[in-house]
Structure 1
Amino acid sequence: MTTVASQVILHPVVSQSLKFGSTTVGRDKTYRAVQYYARFLTWYLLNKGDKHNAARWNALKSHLATARKLLRLGKPVEHLQAALRASLASGPASEQILAIGKQLAYFGYLSYDAVVWANAVKFFVLPPETAQRVTKTSNRFWLAGILFSLVHGVLKLTRLTREAKMLQAGKSWGEKDVGEETQREARLNAVKAAQAAARTQFLIDILDVWIPATGAGITNINEGALGIFGFITSVLGMRAQWKAVTGKQ
């Protein structure tokens, strides 16, 4: 029995899961997945007329949303740092400007989000009209950040695709210099990895964009669809963080 328990408790997947859960990003993505699944399930149960169970899942969704806001209290400064690093980085000017815009928009979003959290936990109480205006402004900044990211993703994918074609064309010419060929293969692999990451981020952005757009009153997507969109992007984010932490797919 002890051997079986040891094999379960000390299994590599358990150890990797603990390592994943020990990171702030890992916990946040997990909470987010549950939050948006609860959002979908609340909508589904209400449509079925099951108000009792819908209330339970809605409470879970609300508490997780509040908890995640607390986890993000220091992140506005991270995005300011990211904006500064983007301004100092080399690369196409258009991509650089969009990257800076994205980070500044996320700074605004998370700054207003902190005010939303403080009001939610009654640290200070805003009038209902003010609270609604702050929430809408937060969603507008979030929407702006995603739109910057989408345009940046299109430009980056276009550039990477062009670079990949050039590298592959060079390979087809059959240069015999082994050193150059090795460097070309390494660069091509790096470009392909960057393409995969950019495609994943583009998919996340194209699904997530509807959440702040609806929160800002620009679109009117139902709660069920928003829950599914958020759940999918959360799982994609969890997958990326799992790979970063454990080095495995």
Structure 2
Amino acid sequence: MATIAQQVVFHPVVSESLKVWSTTVGRDKTYRAVQYFARFLAWFLLSKGEKINAARWNALKSHLALGRKLMRLGKPLEHLQSALKATTASGPAVEQLTTIGRQLAYFGYLSNDALVWANSVKFWNLKPSTAARVNKLANQFWLAGILFSITFGLLKSARISSEIKDLQSSGVWTEKGTQADRDAKILSLERTTAGVRYQFIIDLFDVWIPATNLGFVNLNDGVLGLFGLASSLLALRTQWLSVTGRK
């Protein structure tokens, strides 16, 4: 029995999970996945008329959302630093501008989101009309940040695809060393493209959440819950691979 317990407790998956959850990003993405799953489940139970069970999952969703706001209180400065670093980075100007726009938008989103949290916990009381404006502004910045990220992904993916085609069609490669260098560069570009497209998929799931909050589209909590769950699991996978060193 003790041997079985040791095999479970010290299983590599358990060890890797603890390593991922020891990071702020790992915990945040896990909480986010549970939050949006709870949002979907509360909607599903409510549609079945199970109001008591739905209320439990709604409460979990709300508390996780509030807790995640607290965890993100320092993140606006991270995005501001990233925006400043992007101003001196090399690369195509349009990609640089979309990167700066994305980071500034997330800075605005998380700054206003911090005010939403402060009002929610009664640390800083806002008038209902002011609180509504702050919440709307947070969603506007959030939507802008995702749209900048989508634009960046499209531009960078197109540019890299063009570079790969140029490398593949440029002359006859007879020297082994030269051909090996070209193949290595193509492989590197393909990996970069895969990363960009992966983030693009995450953004496509997430964009509907602030868009619905702002009234641009009208998706129900069930759909938004599934979209948020999907994007959270994809982001968690990225963090998992980063922390564990898997490829």
TM-score range, shorter chain: over 0.9
For structure 1, the residue ranges without an aligned partner over 5 or more in a row are none
Corresponding position: 1:215 with 2:213: yes
Tell me, in whole angstroms, the C-alpha distance in 2 between the residues paired with 1:146 and 1:107: 12
Instruction: Give secondary structure in 2 for the equivalent of 1:179.
Output: helix
Instruction: Give secondary structure in 1 for the equivalent of 2:131.
Output: helix
Amino acid at match of 1:240: T
Tell me, in whole angstroms, the C-alpha distance in 1 between the residues paired with 2:84 and 2:182: 31
Tell me, in whole angstroms, the C-alpha distance in 1 between the residues paired with 2:2 and 2:58: 41
Alignment-derived partner of residue 195 in structure 1 = 193
Moved over 6 A (4+): none
Alignment-derived partner of residue 79 in structure 2 = 79
Corresponding position: 1:50 with 2:50: yes
- Matches for 1:23-102 after TM superposition, within 5 Å: 23-102=23-102
Alignment-derived partner of residue 128 in structure 1 = 128
> For 1:174-222, what per-residue CA distance to the aligned partner results, in whole angstroms no more than 9, with x for missing partners?
4122222222122111111111111111111112111011112222211
Tell me, in whole angstroms, the C-alpha distance in 1 between the residues paired with 2:19 and 2:167: 37
Corresponding position: 1:115 with 2:111: no
Please say if residues 137 and 216 of structure 1, whose CA atoms lie closer than 8 Å, have aligned partners that are also in contact.
no
State the 1:169 CA deviation.
2.5
Amino acid at match of 1:236: L
Tell me, in whole angstroms, the C-alpha distance in 2 between the residues paired with 1:223 and 1:38: 10
State the 1:232 CA deviation.
0.5
- My pick for the range that moved more, 125-134 or 22-31, is 125-134
Instruction: Give secondary structure in 2 for the equivalent of 1:88.
Output: coil
Tell me, in whole angstroms, the C-alpha distance in 2 between the residues paired with 1:129 and 1:218: 20
Tell me, in whole angstroms, the C-alpha distance in 2 between the residues paired with 1:216 and 1:88: 34
For structure 2, the residue ranges without an aligned partner over 5 or more in a row are none
Tell me, in whole angstroms, the C-alpha distance in 2 between the residues paired with 1:161 and 1:180: 21
The TM-score normalised by the length of structure 2 is 0.96
Tell me, in whole angstroms, the C-alpha distance in 2 between the residues paired with 1:188 and 1:77: 36
Tell me, in whole angstroms, the C-alpha distance in 2 between the residues paired with 1:85 and 1:184: 30
- My pick for the range that moved more, 74-83 or 185-194, is 185-194
Q: Identity, % of aligned pairs?
A: 61
Corresponding position: 1:242 with 2:211: no
Tell me, in whole angstroms, the C-alpha distance in 2 between the residues paired with 1:111 and 1:48: 38
Corresponding position: 1:143 with 2:146: no
The TM-score normalised by the length of structure 1 is 0.96
Please say if residues 98 and 149 of structure 1, whose CA atoms lie closer than 8 Å, have aligned partners that are also in contact.
yes
State the 1:18 CA deviation.
0.7
Instruction: Give secondary structure in 1 for the equivalent of 2:174.
Output: coil
State the 1:244 CA deviation.
0.7
State the 1:242 CA deviation.
0.7
Tell me, in whole angstroms, the C-alpha distance in 1 between the residues paired with 2:89 and 2:178: 26
Matched residues, number:
247
Please say if residues 89 and 96 of structure 1, whose CA atoms lie closer than 8 Å, have aligned partners that are also in contact.
yes
Instruction: Give secondary structure in 1 for the equivalent of 2:218.
Output: coil
Please say if residues 140 and 216 of structure 1, whose CA atoms lie closer than 8 Å, have aligned partners that are also in contact.
yes
Corresponding position: 1:18 with 2:15: no
> For 1:20-72, what per-residue CA distance to the aligned partner results, in whole angstroms no more than 9, with x for missing partners?
11111110000000000111111111111111001000000000000100110
Please say if residues 26 and 241 of structure 1, whose CA atoms lie closer than 8 Å, have aligned partners that are also in contact.
yes
